Chains A and B, each alone.
Chain A
Amino acid sequence: MADPILSVRGLKTQFFGPEGVVRAVDGVDFDVFEGRTLGVVGESGCGKSVTARSVLGIVDRPGRVVGGSMKLRRANGEVVDLGTLTNEQMRKYRGPEIALVFQEPMASFSQHYTIGNQIGEGIKLHMGLDDRAAKKRAIELLDMVGVPQPARRVDDYPFQLSGGLRQRVMIAMALSCDPRVLIADEPTTALDVTTQAQILDLLRTLQKDRGLAIILITHDMGVIAEMAHDVSVMYLGRAVETGSVKEIFETPKHPYTRALLRSIPTVLAKPRTRLPTIAGSIPHPFDRPKGCSYHPRCAEIIGAVCEKAEPPAVDTDDGRQVRCFLHGGMEEAKASLQGASA
């Protein structure tokens, strides 16, 4: 496979609140390739959105990226670590290199400017076009994302659009400066299923036409199965399992991935059937369990190890990464635990 466009290693983002430090992202690794989609999936509090915001350098205070590297390979081959850039420098990358589509299209637009104005803002800043040329480009973009009558719609305000159209406009805005990496954070969660199908279809087409690398963040395993080439499953700030979509769904290795996949309701189920569940609930970020953070809910817990030691990321034979003692790292952990108690 070609070199990744974006390569993240050991990313750590923490929030420094008055009650203590929340390790929202705690050592995440992933690669994103041209023309491929990386699905990042997990439940609330797993750090999937904070990961996206860290890459873009838009983590809200009191949060801060405290470790790791985020290497972006630019079109000219130059490799830049986004974590080392100042805010001023980072601004040149947001838009032309990496762009973001947010979850809530209504909350992400200004209500006081037309959509044409808002799409044009980035274009004028990054491409140096004048008002007229920017508007022309905005109309082209709206047309590209399937907004009907783009020349008329360009003068609409966000509140005049339906949820589906607003998400199309948001995608047009993200693509306005021709980025190579698109981060979509729950892009269809607020939409109805039939509208969701339209937006996912659009993202697939855009990826095919433009070779976009997409990071798709969602809690919906169905959307992941449909869209992603590679998948990273997150739990409490860590990627517990990363691999190709086929492998993750067909032979999940981490007990959390297995339990998560079993617990999703599907339209293929028999009516009125109980679902397998995961015991307990997601711990509060301040009370993160010691050792493997999944151990209190895990059905396959290994006594005296999982409660104490953190499983390392292990590369498996089929090119997957799993953080679980069932798949490796056990000997080292035992040795170091004995060393500590001796």
Chain B
Amino acid sequence: MSETIPPETILEVTDLKKHFPIRRGLLRKVVGQVKAVDGVSFSIRKGETLALVGESGCGKTTAARCILRAYAPTGGAIKFKVEGREVDLAALSRSELRPLRRHIQMVFQDPYSSLNPRMVVGDIIGEPLLINGMGDAVARRKRVEELMELVQLPRAYYNRFPHAFSGGQRQRIGIARALALNPTLIVADEPVSALDVSVQAQVLNLMLDLQDQLGLTYLFVAHDLSVVKHVSDRVAVMYVGRMVELAETEALFERPLHPYTEALLSAAPTPVPGAVSNRIVLEREIADPANPPPGCAFHPRCRYAVDACRAVVPEMTEVQPGRFVACHRAAELTLAGVGAVEHVVD
């Protein structure tokens, strides 16, 4: 890794680790570690959407929270370009972080629990401006109205409370609040998974439009591959604390290189009757991050596993420009993407 990150990159995560201690007994002795994130590296370019996908417990949310520094990482570096310089967020103290926090904002999953029910919409959206001492009351009000227009909420709703809004409108409020300080990066953790389909489409379109309009950069954390396909430029797939594959969206869906990605794509239901014929149904369950299997964590469920997979942890390798995969057999396997029917093994 070079000392400075390339010009178009705004965030570079290197070997990020977050381990949670398991404590037992009277003296709360540490008896083990849950390796929620265990050596994850990726970068985000200005103006793109990088999706972080995986199933529950894969560490995608933990990784996102480390970037927000809601968690202090156990190891690794998070280089972030801000105010014309480059800082390592992982190494900063709380007081050093405070002035930088406005540059990374978050959109939450649940629009019902993430808005203060006792504050009116205008105050919720304007709170980040107030906290950061931006302008006087008149200027703040003007900015809030501008933001409400951006997310297509009528200005007349300024003095209403969140309970008067539907899920989709609440998510618009959450997005407006995240935009208030013109952040460099927006971390959206499952922003549409609590919404009904007809509303989900509205919010996804809004996120795409805002990105085109304002040049926003998103880290989009999600479990739903069909949503990811609609919004992201690149996709990173995680499994039990590690990244298994990272590629441009189209390439990943068309021809996955990791068997886990293949299984995940195959498991996603498609709204086409009778399309289920060649589904890969994975056996057993996701490995326990407190006690992951030796070698590749996916090997007990992988139908292509060989001896090497049981013994050696595969490293992320760049197999084509911009395509990374952590699989011992990536070069020899031909895996099925979405729409493909044929399976060729060996």
A198: B residues at CB distance < 8 A: 281-282
A194-B267, A246-B273, A269-B229 known; A263-B201 Cβ under 8 A: yes
Q: How large is the interface on A (under 10, 10 to 19, 20 to 34, 35 or more residues)?
A: 35 or more
Asked if A271 is at the interface (CB within 8 A of a chain B CB), the reply is: yes
Asked if A298 is at the interface (CB within 8 A of a chain B CB), the reply is: no
Interface residue ranges, B against A (CB under 8 Å): 49, 55-56, 166-169, 196-202, 204-205, 208-209, 223-227, 229-233, 249-250, 253, 263-276, 279, 281-282, 285-286, 338-339
Number of A-B residue pairs with CB-CB distance less than 8 Å in the complex they form: 150
Q: Look across to chain B and name the residue whose beta carbon is closest to the beta carbon of A41.
A: B197
Let me know if A271 and B198 touch, CB within 8 A. Answer: no
Distance to closest chain A CB from B329 (angstroms): 20
A223: B residues at CB distance < 8 A: 269
Q: Look across to chain B and name the residue whose beta carbon is closest to the beta carbon of A45.
A: B196
Let me know if A192 and B223 touch, CB within 8 A. Answer: yes
Let me know if B282 and A194 touch, CB within 8 A. Answer: yes
B265: A residues at CB distance < 8 A: 267
Q: Look across to chain B and name the residue whose beta carbon is closest to the beta carbon of A261.
A: B271
Let me know if A249 and B272 touch, CB within 8 A. Answer: yes
Q: Contact check: which of B55, B226, B273 meets A225 at CB < 8 Å? A: B273
Let me know if B232 and A272 touch, CB within 8 A. Answer: yes
Pairs across A and B, CB under 8 Å, 28 listed: A43-B196, A192-B223, A192-B286, A193-B223, A194-B264, A194-B267, A194-B282, A195-B55, A197-B279, A222-B268, A222-B271, A223-B269, A225-B271, A225-B273, A225-B274, A226-B269, A245-B273, A249-B271, A263-B201, A265-B200, A265-B201, A265-B204, A265-B229, A271-B230, A271-B253, A275-B205, A275-B230, A281-B168
A260: B residues at CB distance < 8 A: 197-198
Interface centre among B49, B55, B267 (most CB of A within 10 A): B267
Let me know if B202 and A277 touch, CB within 8 A. Answer: yes
C-alpha spacing A267/B262, complex, angstroms? 12
Q: Contact check: which of A220, A246, A277 meets B269 at CB < 8 Å? A: A220
B209: A residues at CB distance < 8 A: 274
C-alpha spacing A223/B169, complex, angstroms? 27
B266: A residues at CB distance < 8 A: 197
A192-B55, A271-B250, A281-B169 known; A197-B226 Cβ under 8 A: no
Q: Look across to chain B and name the residue whose beta carbon is closest to the beta carbon of A199.
A: B281
A274: B residues at CB distance < 8 A: 204-205, 208-209
Let me know if B201 and A277 touch, CB within 8 A. Answer: yes
A194-B267, A277-B198, A277-B205 known; A272-B230 Cβ under 8 A: yes
A164: B residues at CB distance < 8 A: 285
Let me know if A268 and B205 touch, CB within 8 A. Answer: no
Q: Contact check: which of B197, B208, B279 meets A219 at CB < 8 Å? A: B197
Interface string of A265-300 (1 = CB under 8 A from B): 111111111111110011000000000000000000
Let me know if A278 and B201 touch, CB within 8 A. Answer: yes
Q: Contact check: which of B56, B202, B275, B339 meets A226 at CB < 8 Å? A: B275
C-alpha spacing A163/B56, complex, angstroms? 10
Asked if A117 is at the interface (CB within 8 A of a chain B CB), the reply is: no
Distance to closest chain A CB from B318 (angstroms): 21
Q: Contact check: which of B202, B232, B263, B270 meets A266 at CB < 8 Å? A: B270
Q: Contact check: which of B223, B226, B273 meets A269 at CB < 8 Å? A: B226
Let me know if A282 and B273 touch, CB within 8 A. Answer: no
Q: Look across to chain B and name the residue whose beta carbon is closest to the beta carbon of A283.
A: B166
Q: Contact check: which of A165, A193, A259, A271 meets B268 at CB < 8 Å? A: A193
Let me know if A259 and B232 touch, CB within 8 A. Answer: no
Given contacts A43-B198, A263-B201, A274-B209, 19 further A-B contacts (CB under 8 A): A43-B197, A162-B285, A193-B223, A193-B264, A194-B55, A201-B279, A219-B197, A225-B271, A225-B273, A264-B201, A265-B201, A266-B270, A267-B229, A267-B253, A267-B265, A271-B230, A274-B208, A275-B201, A282-B196
